[in-house]
Amino acid sequence: MIDQQYTMKKLLKITGFAILSLVGFVALYVLAGLGLGRIGIAEEANAKDDLSIYILTNGVHTDLVMPIKTPQIDWSQQLKFENTKGKRTDYNFISIGWGDKGFYLDTPTWAELKFSTAFKAATGLSTAAIHATYYRTMQEGETCVKIDISNNQYQRLIDFIQKDLIRQKNGEVTHIKTDAVYTDSDAFYDATGSYSFFHTCNSWTNRALKAAGQKASFWTPFDKGIFYQYQKS
């Protein structure tokens, strides 16, 4: 009986320690994300304003929005209109975001989030995807910021995105054929890397901005860190 009580107390102590450790980690993670997100990386000086791109957020996840066609690239030749449900071709902009494949395809709403999906995403055990959405117009506001960049900076942004698209032997990007799209104007593609606490969709966007010589956070897993850099006075 005494041994059983001792074992039970020991298990309760271990459980309590594990819970406190998890709570502590989450609190530290949030504080670090918010704090480091406010440390800014300056944009490159004396760059020309050759074209405009946008940063878009839905309140959690950020995307980069670019003109579909410029002298550097026609995105519709790789991320094809025909891969969308609507198959329309009268769009002017494309948004591109990177994220966890399981979240993208298996979690249409937070209510449908599975523990297995969350666990794999948090620990880097799952695969990644690129989400591309087409738009006719963009409207600046609290959730959409316009950035003017040079042609050279834009080329570096293109190169950053291109290296994360998984390609087939014929050079075409790997379209994920699924009904789990959000609208008639979006599609998913296999991407390199894996999502984790430290490599989120927003840290990917942040790294893309750094690659293009734009204002960015030192590090941020949240959209708030990125938008803080562009909305602060």
Q: One-letter amino acid identity for 216?
A: A
pLDDT at 160: 98
Helices (H), the chain: 2-37, 101-106, 115-123, 151-162, 201-211, 223-231
Is 32 inside any structural domain?
no
In a domain, 165, yes or no: yes
For residue 79, the enclosing domain spans: 38-231
In a domain, 9, yes or no: no
What integer pLDDT is reported at residue 206 of this predicted model? Answer: 98
pLDDT of residue 163: 97
Q: Any idea how long the chain is?
A: 233
Nearest to 125 by CA among 63, 196, 183: 196
Q: Could you read off the pLDDT tens digit of each residue along the chain, which spans 233 residues? A: 556 655 656 655 666 555 655 555 566 666 767 788 899 999 999 999 999 999 999 998 999 999 999 999 999 999 999 999 999 999 999 999 999 998 888 765 555 556 566 666 666 668 999 999 999 999 999 999 999 999 999 999 999 999 999 999 999 999 999 998 999 999 999 999 999 888 999 999 999 999 999 999 999 999 999 999 998 75
Please give the tally of structural domains in the chain: 1
Q: Is residue 11 part of a domain?
A: no
pLDDT at position 176 is 97
For residue 28, is it within any domain? no
In a domain, 6, yes or no: no
Whole-angstrom distance, CA of residue 39 vs CA of residue 152: 25
8 located within any domain: no
Residue 200: predicted pLDDT: 94
- At 84, the amino acid letter reads T
In a domain, 65, yes or no: yes
Q: How many whole angstroms separate alpha carbon 150 and alpha carbon 116? A: 43
